[in-house]
């Protein structure tokens, strides 16, 4: 590795598994010290062990502002500043418009929209000039997928933040970008969407055939792009949504 994040302090929400965990691994490999958050302490403990002494977990629910204030206080006590935020935590499930309940709406928007706001808002006093904020959106925000409107709408809201926050934070030269993953199978996603492992395997085989690059994504595809947006390699990039989906949304949006 090149050490392109050497000396940087990063916060990754939803960092105990999947994309968040691999982003933490990739940032550490480039020299960063990483704080990971999540709701399940047992998973966080295992993730911290696997990541080594350049990672620390703080149990927190991104949808609860006091939890994220506690995370910021821990970082402030340890380092006094923060260089990178990857607001990655989120949830999603298939649910039709007819069946959608108030509880469903609150659960999704609390995690995906409020959680993104609280993550960035509580950490703002710690952000150094030139810091990098990366939000996790989704290609589904641009697609008309059946029974997925609530999740898609929440990610469209998150995408909108990059434009206004780029303006809000320009005096500090804080860059705000989004990473928009395509199909990236993870254990958490499979469980949330209610499919069995076999159903998921068959679904991904079908989607791989549709994708111009001939495969579905891997968490490493996303984490490498996140490191790019976190590093000085992207120092003249702000206010963008970087789509990492093998060309799927651009070419086959009407076949998903």
173 located within any domain = yes
* Residue 184 binned pLDDT confidence (cut-offs 50, 70, 90): confident
- At 93 the pLDDT is 87
CB of 199 closer than 8 Å to CB of 181: no
Domain membership of residue 191 (yes or no) is: no
Evaluate whether residue 202 is within a structural domain.
no
The CA radius of gyration of the chain, in Å to the nearest whole number, is 17
Give tens-digit pLDDT for 126-178: 999 999 999 999 998 888 788 999 999 999 999 999 999 999 999 999 999 99
pLDDT-derived band of residue 256, with 50, 70 and 90 as boundaries?
A: very low
In a domain? residue 210: no
User: Is pLDDT of 118 > 80?
Assistant: yes
Q: Is residue 223 part of a domain?
A: yes
Is 191's pLDDT higher than 70? no
Distance CA 223, CA 211 (A): 20
C-alpha 77/C-alpha 56 separation (Å) is: 13
H-run or E-run covering 72: helix 65-78
CATH of the domain at 24: 3.40.50.720
Looking at residue 252, what is its pLDDT?
58
In a domain, 195, yes or no: no
Torsion (CA) 136, 142, 145, 96 in degrees, nearest 10: 70
Residue 18 has pLDDT above 80, yes or no: yes
For residue 253, what pLDDT is reported? Answer: 53
Considering the entire predicted model, what is its pTM? Answer: 0.92
Domain range for 177: 9-186+218-251
Residues 179-207: what's their mean pLDDT? 74
User: Domain total for the chain?
Assistant: 1
Q: In the prediction, which pLDDT does 187 show? A: 66
Any domain includes 1: no
Q: Report the range out of 116-130, 175-189, 190-204 with the highest average pLDDT.
A: 116-130
Higher pLDDT, 195 or 12: 12
Active-site positions read: 151
């Amino acid at each position: 590795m090149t050490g392109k994040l050497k000396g940087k302090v990063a916060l990754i929400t939803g960092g105990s598994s999947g994309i968040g965990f691999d982003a933490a691994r990739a940032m550490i490999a480039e020299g960063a010290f990483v704080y990971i958050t999540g709701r399940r302490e047992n998973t966080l403990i295992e993730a911290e062990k696997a990541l080594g002494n350049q990672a620390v977990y703080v149990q927190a629910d991104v949808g609860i502002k006091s939890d994220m204030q506690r995370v910021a206080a821990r970082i402030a006590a340890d380092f006094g500043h923060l260089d990178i935020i990857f607001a990655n935590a989120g949830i999603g499930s298939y649910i039709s418009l007819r069946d959608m309940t108030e509880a469903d709406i609150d659960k999704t928007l609390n995690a995906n929209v409020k959680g993104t706001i609280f993550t960035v808002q509580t950490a703002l006093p710690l952000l150094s000039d030139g810091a990098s904020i990366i939000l996790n959106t989704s290609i589904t925000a641009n697609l008309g997928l059946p029974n997925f409107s609530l999740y898609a709408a929440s990610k469209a809201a998150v995408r909108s933040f990059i434009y206004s926050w780029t303006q809000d934070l320009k005096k500090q030269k804080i860059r705000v970008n989004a990473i928009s993953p395509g199909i990236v199978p993870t254990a958490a996603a499979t469980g949330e969407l209610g499919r069995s492992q076999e159903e998921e395997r068959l679904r991904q085989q079908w989607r791989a055939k549709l994708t111009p690059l001939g495969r579905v994504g891997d968490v490493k595809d996303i984490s490498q792009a996140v490191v790019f947006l976190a590093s000085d390699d992207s120092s003249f990039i702000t206010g963008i949504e970087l789509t990492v989906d093998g060309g799927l949304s651009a070419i086959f949006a009407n076949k998903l």
